[in-house]
Structure 1
Amino acid sequence: MKMQLAEIAHAVGAINDFEQWRSVSVTSVAFDSRHLQPGGLFIPLTGEQDGHQFIQSAIDHGAAATLWARDLATAPAGFPVIQVADSLKALQALAQYYLTKINPRVVAITGSNGKTTTKDMIASILATQFNVTKTHANFNNEIGVPMTVLSMEPNTEMLVVEMGMDRPGQLDFLSNLVAPDVAVITMIGEAHIEFFGTRDKIADAKMEITHGLSEDGIIVYNGDEPLLRDRTADLNLRKRTFGQSETTDLFATDIEATSTATSFTTNLWPDKPFTIPMIGTYNVNNALAALSVANVYRIRPENAQKALATVNLTENRAEWVKGAAGEDILSDVYNANPTAVKQVLAAFSQTPVVGKRYAVLGDMLELGVQADSMHADIATAIDPDKLSHVYLVGSHMVALQQRLAQEMPDLPVTHFAADALPALTSTLQDTLTANDQILLKGSHGIHLEQVLAALQDSKEK
């Protein structure tokens, strides 16, 4: 982006006299002073810390100007300042203005599971024929979505935006902020059920992504999910469905899997085999969602084939990496909920292996009063004949440990407290050998990424 302060001031509703700085140009925005690029606009947000306290750091990193939601007397003297009532609302207003200015087509994605992978797939496919900007990492909330919008290059033709939520009304706001042309719902699971109570209420909240749809917008959703079928039945919108059922508009056939990839064909392009560099039928569904969007924008299937085969996935989303002992690690350590854990366990248990299979499962957070029962129910997805040992981490996983002891007494199971990751890591380093496979899956708050880093450490054990 490149804008002068006069334009920015108009977009955010500046309440100070900025005339002396109206011609100052900015080329990016940042709310973390440490990540600000020279020529950037600093956005001092207020959360656990007050961003205004870091204005000197922003200046030291080359800030060209700053928003300011405090008394002007506290602003840095002689430095370009745009005073606003609320810096977060100003960031959002600036993003909305910039989106209107660039005017790309917008694809928005949400879902309890799979939204980041689906975002990556959609962006990869669309990039074969369009200039695309996509959500970085998981910048998918009231701060992240505006930052994604403001990261667009002026020649952006397609904006692919991931949208997360943990409360009602959040997707309504984000959808109206970006006014998507296509809204994608990957699936309805139990993520954040602590804040919603039931899957029905989660489905209601996910449907908010349609609230900002453009007049001729399209909703793309998992047609195998009754909660979505019910809620879309009376919508006066164009609809596209995907799934495993032949009643959906786009479904997969001839699914075949290796230890690191899955191939399939579809009813729409039966002579075009698609391959994705990941395992699991659930990832085939994510690919079908992406192909549904590809079909909306008339992407050539040959281009979609290449894009899916080489998709660049966001880190730690069911990613195969190599360990120091030569073991293969399936790293999926960013988030976890019951549906996602069961899906990845099912896929992992079917991967060909020369050595042994091990699973490390960390607590699934934000499940509320149902947490222990949902953890115990993970036992239904565990095949004792396919796993050599299960390692559990966190207080809620005690419930699963107890269930496994009752139902699968011959399966070796070891439990570790959440603060005992070094002990877990040491155990794994003493156990794993070349040709073994290990799954790491848990909520980000359990920090299994620390275990992953240690297992990949190349120094001798």
Structure 2
Amino acid sequence: MSLWNAADAVAATGGKSSGDWTATGVSIDTRTLEPGDLFVALKDQRDGHEFVAQALEKGAAAALVSHRPADVSAAAPLLIVDDVLKGLESLGRAARARMHGKVAAVTGSVGKTSTKEMLREMLAVQGRTHASVASYNNHWGVPLTLARMPRDTDFAVIEIGMNHPGEIAPLAKMAEPHVALVTTVAAAHLEAFDDITGIAVEKASIYEGVVPGGVAVLNADIDTAAILMAKAQDCRLRDISFGEHGYDFKLIRADLQDDTTVVQAEMGAEPLLYKIASPGRHFAMNALGALAVVAALRADIALAVGALGRWKPYKGRGQRERIHLDAIEVGMTLDLIDDSYNANPTSMAAALDVLAAAPVTNDIGRVSRGRRIAFLGDMKELGPDEGALHAGLAQLPSLQSLDVVHCIGPLMRSLYDVLPEAQRGDWFETAEEALPRLKRRLDSGDVVLAKGSLSMKLGLIVDAIREMGHAPPGDEEG
């Protein structure tokens, strides 16, 4: 199906097109480019113009550029604009203008991507649904998501993030959502803000992009909820609150089981029961906010609840899996919780809650009692109080329930130094240093969490644990 043709793209961007072409997708990366894509030559770590020739060789329909690269034929199909990023933004705005479905936007210090994916799952059973890929939520991710949106989309879910003040509002105005959700406000990116109040003000600015008569969905449990509420009122939006103190969507109880969260809530005066195929109170809360968005979009709540039960977190965002440590003995397993994609104090506390509630298995390994083991990496961008915020994890009730805590990174040394000796595992400068003796530190019956900021590369530990595994007995091919 045609997404962009030369005439429409020229009308959207004001650029000049060489040749007549039709694109079925939009790509910024030649490694994942599909034949028929419009290649956008953005400048990031490398200048995308260096890859235009390669993109065309791989079957790109055309390339969005600011000039014709020297190694590209004069006959090549190009859309030439003054500024490539601004050209992409123009495509995004034009795609939004021609789409007549409903748009939801999601931001928050924690849970943006998981909540966006929940919404994708819940709305996909109710109409043609388009959503951000992975965590494409920044100054190029949002316009790229919009530019990729088919004109016959029924529901779109746009994730919006930020690192510095002033980033969210322009992206929200580009997306023009009918409903905007703030999952929570927490200590993240504090290096760029004076305090958490500043973060709340920035998150609340998503409401500036909501269309007239739209809806603001907000977390009523956070200390800065009043800031969100005031912003919604200033923007003349109807507000829907969720949480334990939510007056529209109220969380009554979340039961964390082995691989499931069972939730009792209320939607107004009506009972609302739902299940998530992954343990986590934070998932229960994110899902409640997502259900509030579904209601605000006037979509079917019953269908949404059914679809929600099939949702599972992405790799690196709380994904749980069973690792079979023996090719013959079926019971020789450990459970791995991969939460290695990101970390701040709020998401760290949520992950530790999940680990603390996870059941272990006794009498199946070298160690008679199964253990709850955490590999915790530095939480980045926390500002001048970063040391205290790391050490403060030791006071969390959930951390008291853990058997061994291994700390990774210079900031996590602050936690390591205040851990009780019985819990204190090892401290490593980097994740790589933890790999050589990893197998000795783990055993059948254990539940293991890996959590840290992405730059700490806790994914190396996750991958190494996965490599310890065998196919479940009876599952071998052949």
TM-score category, normalised to shorter length: over 0.9
Q: 2:393 touches 2:399 (CA, 8 Å); kept in 1? A: no
The 2-side partners of 1:435 and 1:459 are apart by: 14
Q: Give 1:336's aligned amino acid.
A: A
Distance 1:150 1:312, change over 3 A: farther
SS at match of 1:82: strand
Cα displacement string for residues 241-300 of structure 1 (whole angstroms, at most 9, x for unaligned residues): 00112x521112232221221111212275552111222322211011011012223343
**Could you say which residue in structure 1 is the equivalent of 2:421?**
409
What are the within-5 Å matches in structure 2 for residues 253-332 of structure 1? 253-268=252-267, 271-325=271-325, 326-332=333-339
The 1-side partners of 2:194 and 2:42 are apart by: 31
Q: CA deviation at 1:219?
A: 0.3
Q: State the Cα RMSD in Å.
A: 1.9
Aligned pair 1:184/2:185, yes or no? no
What are the within-5 Å matches in structure 2 for residues 383-402 of structure 1? 383=398, 386-402=401-417
SS at match of 1:303: helix
What TM-score, normalized by structure 1, do the two folds share?
A: 0.93
Q: 1:68 touches 1:75 (CA, 8 Å); kept in 2? A: no
The 1-side partners of 2:399 and 2:448 are apart by: 15
The 2-side partners of 1:27 and 1:71 are apart by: 22
Q: 1:392 touches 1:401 (CA, 8 Å); kept in 2? A: yes
SS at match of 2:337: strand
The 1-side partners of 2:433 and 2:228 are apart by: 47
The 2-side partners of 1:96 and 1:384 are apart by: 46
Q: 1:346 touches 1:381 (CA, 8 Å); kept in 2? A: no
Aligned pair 1:164/2:161, yes or no? yes
**Could you say which residue in structure 1 is the equivalent of 2:350?**
343
Q: Give 1:428's aligned amino acid.
A: L
**Could you say which residue in structure 1 is the equivalent of 2:11?**
10
The 1-side partners of 2:199 and 2:428 are apart by: 31
Q: CA deviation at 1:332?
A: 0.6
SS at match of 1:329: strand
**Could you say which residue in structure 2 is the equivalent of 1:90?**
87
The 2-side partners of 1:387 and 1:335 are apart by: 21
What are the within-5 Å matches in structure 2 for residues 68-147 of structure 1? 68-70=65-67, 76-147=73-144
The 2-side partners of 1:179 and 1:69 are apart by: 27
**Could you say which residue in structure 2 is the equivalent of 1:443?**
453
Cα displacement string for residues 199-225 of structure 1 (whole angstroms, at most 9, x for unaligned residues): 000011101101111001100000112
| Bigger mean CA offset, 58-67 vs 294-303 | 294-303
The 2-side partners of 1:107 and 1:206 are apart by: 15
Identical positions, percent: 31
Q: CA deviation at 1:146?
A: 1.7
Q: Give 1:10's aligned amino acid.
A: A
Unaligned regions of 5+ residues in structure 1, if any?
none
Q: CA deviation at 1:231?
A: 3.9
**Could you say which residue in structure 2 is the equivalent of 1:216?**
213
Q: 2:52 touches 2:69 (CA, 8 Å); kept in 1? A: no
Q: CA deviation at 1:73?
A: 7.0
Unaligned regions of 5+ residues in structure 2, if any?
326-332, 362-369, 471-478
Q: 1:272 touches 1:301 (CA, 8 Å); kept in 2? A: no
Q: 1:133 touches 1:158 (CA, 8 Å); kept in 2? A: yes
**Could you say which residue in structure 2 is the equivalent of 1:195?**
192
Q: Give 1:244's aligned amino acid.
A: E
The 1-side partners of 2:166 and 2:424 are apart by: 44
The 2-side partners of 1:55 and 1:447 are apart by: 31
Q: 2:204 touches 2:227 (CA, 8 Å); kept in 1? A: no
SS at match of 1:33: coil
Q: 1:193 touches 1:199 (CA, 8 Å); kept in 2? A: yes
User: How many residues are treated as equivalent by the alignment?
Assistant: 450
The 2-side partners of 1:193 and 1:106 are apart by: 29
SS at match of 2:224: helix
Cα displacement string for residues 2-39 of structure 1 (whole angstroms, at most 9, x for unaligned residues): 2221210121111x4x3x61x32111111112222112
The 1-side partners of 2:441 and 2:13 are apart by: 57
Q: 1:393 touches 1:416 (CA, 8 Å); kept in 2? A: yes
SS at match of 2:227: helix
SS at match of 1:226: coil
Q: 1:34 touches 1:57 (CA, 8 Å); kept in 2? A: no
Q: Give 1:414's aligned amino acid.
A: D
Q: Give 2:262's aligned amino acid.
A: S
Q: 1:72 touches 1:83 (CA, 8 Å); kept in 2? A: no
Q: CA deviation at 1:107?
A: 0.2
Q: Give 1:129's aligned amino acid.
A: Q
The 2-side partners of 1:437 and 1:148 are apart by: 37
The 2-side partners of 1:455 and 1:318 are apart by: 15
The 1-side partners of 2:253 and 2:77 are apart by: 61
The 2-side partners of 1:459 and 1:108 are apart by: 39
The counterpart of 1:62, out of the listed 51, 56, 59, is: 59
The 2-side partners of 1:271 and 1:111 are apart by: 26
The 1-side partners of 2:398 and 2:213 are apart by: 47
The 2-side partners of 1:89 and 1:136 are apart by: 20
Q: CA deviation at 1:342?
A: 1.4
Q: Give 2:164's aligned amino acid.
A: R
Q: Give 1:397's aligned amino acid.
A: M
Distance 1:388 1:71, change over 3 A: same
| Bigger mean CA offset, 315-324 vs 372-381 | 315-324
The 1-side partners of 2:70 and 2:353 are apart by: 60
Q: Give 1:358's aligned amino acid.
A: I
The 1-side partners of 2:271 and 2:22 are apart by: 52
Q: CA deviation at 1:382?
A: 5.5
What TM-score, normalized by structure 2, do the two folds share?
A: 0.90
SS at match of 2:164: coil
| Bigger mean CA offset, 276-285 vs 46-55 | 276-285
Q: Give 2:461's aligned amino acid.
A: V
SS at match of 1:194: helix
SS at match of 2:31: helix
The counterpart of 2:372, out of the listed 357, 364, 384, is: 357
Q: CA deviation at 1:350?
A: 1.8
Name segments (4+ residues, structure 1) moved above 6 Å.
Answer: 71-74
The 2-side partners of 1:271 and 1:381 are apart by: 32
Cα displacement string for residues 114-149 of structure 1 (whole angstroms, at most 9, x for unaligned residues): 111111111211222121111111111111112212
Q: 1:345 touches 1:382 (CA, 8 Å); kept in 2? A: no
